[in-house]
Structure 1
Amino acid sequence: MESWLQEAVEACALKDCHASVHDLLDCFCGQFSVVPVAIPKVTQQAAQDWLSFRRPGQWFTTEPHSHHGLMAWWRGHGILFYNKQTKAPEQRFTVVHEVAHFVLEEWVPRRRALSVFGPEILPVLDGERAPSPEEALTLFFEQVPLNLSMDLMARDESGGYASRDIVLAEHRADRVALELLAPVEQVLPLVKQLSREAAINSLRFQFHLPMEKATEYVDGLRRRLRVSSFSIAEFLGVEEG
């Protein structure tokens, strides 16, 4: 497991991958400063309206896109919006995916920066001032991202992700969510032993993953297994049976 993935998974400290939506929220809200908000339709405008009523300001670009969930954060605190009308598998994955964004994009960088600089770095993390050249160099070498205000909601004209950085952020949040809800050490034997369709169904019913994510997970592991098998066979100079 990559170090960034292991760090995020350990931070989330989820003990039961089969937990209900309610139990997931209890776990994450106890672990982090996150407030869950269930609304019937999740859009930037709906989240903007909810937030600006309580704390005036422009939190999101109000593009007319619907989402399964949104996460807003400010100074180490998060607000998790999720659609209370979707089915349980979608709700579960959405909650964990959005919490993963908070952990990866806000919680881990803040903790790492504070461990290096102490509280004097807070104005930088909170967007009140730019880092000094010395701070910027140290943050770079400590692998603390400086794009803490990246707009993960930005989309292009066709509705796709607006930048490669957003694509990478979404992929990383998915990786964390999958590892928490369906740990690879439990899923890999199923992928090895079962047909593609049977493995997908097992992830849907045993681990309660949405169909789309179960399919992506199985296909991704099958590709990695083929590459691994080919590399070993090539190294040994033998043909696969």
Structure 2
Amino acid sequence: MTGHWLDEAVAASQLPTPQVFPRELATEVDSYLKVSMEFLPMLTTDGVRDWLGWRDFEYHEDEAPRRLHGCMVANAGGAVLLMDSEDSLEEQRFTLAHEVAHFVLDHLVPRDWALRMFGESIRPVLDGLRDPTPHELISSHFSRVPIGVQVKLMDRNQTGTIQSAKVLQAERRADRLAFEFLAPAALAMETLSQHSEDDGVEALATRFGLTRRAAHEYARMLVRPRRPERFSLVRMLGTDGRGQ
């Protein structure tokens, strides 16, 4: 059974229910979302900064230099997902799902909320073409709506360790949504129930094309879930879409 926020996020992605596994999410993303992919060797934070600079995107965050599996660069309701070309196929599969999850949770849903609240007049603000008016700024939770180019690297130190509870929560939600894209919980639980604990992890990895590390983490999420989070995309944005 998935949580309410997870059901909302899957619906917001508009991606079809997977029928074949391992799921080839790349072809579906290209068809249903304004998302493209670029593969770079030895992807790093410095490499992302260089990539942005070559395209005249300003990026001023002071990120600790480190290796990356992937990075989301979103703008105007679309995104480019940068991925490490030297990762294994299984690692790339999960990285793609994770970055798509960030695109849905951190860019697409807040942007859609703003368009519903303010109409087309807010689109130039979201696209970074004009500043928001005082009325727009005082609207509840408007500060959470991405404006202009959005780069999702997440705040970590040089070893990749997450250093804040807020970032950890965002990463966990992106991971959980990524797993749901690649291995829907009902099917994953069915697979786990047919095997012992160790064999179940291996079966999960094989059926859904996950690394063994990712399969182990997903099995832990499903079999020994944390206390359910009271989280909703609607509550996060402070409206049900019908007005404040």
**Counterpart of 1:168?**
169
Indicate yes or no: 2:131 matched with 1:129. Answer: yes
Cα contact 2:71–2:152 (8 A) shared by 1: no
CA distance in 1, matches of 2:61, 2:31: 26
Higher helix fraction (1 or 2): 1
Give CA-to-partner distance per residue, 1:138-187, whole Å, 9 cap, x none.
x44xxx77163685432246642232221111111111110111111111
| Structure 1 runs not aligned, ≥5 long | 229-241
Cα contact 2:70–2:81 (8 A) shared by 1: yes
CA distance in 2, matches of 1:111, 1:175: 22
The partner residue of 1:18 within 10, 21, 24 is: 21
TM-score (norm 2): 0.78
- Paired letter, 1:57: E
- Are residues 82 and 89 of structure 1, via their aligned partners in 2, closer, same or farther at CA, if it must alter by over 3 Å? same
**Counterpart of 1:44?**
45
- Are residues 69 and 101 of structure 1, via their aligned partners in 2, closer, same or farther at CA, if it must alter by over 3 Å? same
SS in 2 for 1:173: helix
Q: Which has the larger radius of gyration?
A: 1
**Counterpart of 2:8?**
7
- Are residues 156 and 50 of structure 1, via their aligned partners in 2, closer, same or farther at CA, if it must alter by over 3 Å? closer
- Paired letter, 2:214: K
Cα contact 1:37–1:81 (8 A) shared by 2: yes
- Are residues 151 and 208 of structure 1, via their aligned partners in 2, closer, same or farther at CA, if it must alter by over 3 Å? closer
TM-score (norm 1): 0.79
SS in 2 for 1:161: coil
The count of aligned residue pairs is 221
- Are residues 201 and 158 of structure 1, via their aligned partners in 2, closer, same or farther at CA, if it must alter by over 3 Å? closer
**Counterpart of 1:218?**
219
The answer to which of 184-193 and 124-133 deviates more is 124-133
Aligned CA RMSD, in angstroms, stands at 2.8
Relative contact order (alpha carbons < 8 A, sep ≥ 6): 1 or 2 greater?
2
| Structure 2 runs not aligned, ≥5 long | 229-244
Indicate yes or no: 2:94 matched with 1:96. Answer: no
Give CA-to-partner distance per residue, 1:21-77, whole Å, 9 cap, x none.
xx4222112222222101111112112212221224226545311111111112222
CA distance in 1, matches of 2:225, 2:162: 25
SS in 2 for 1:65: coil
Shift of 1:134: 6.4
- Are residues 136 and 194 of structure 1, via their aligned partners in 2, closer, same or farther at CA, if it must alter by over 3 Å? farther
Shift of 1:206: 1.0
CA distance in 2, matches of 1:86, 1:107: 27
- Paired letter, 1:42: L
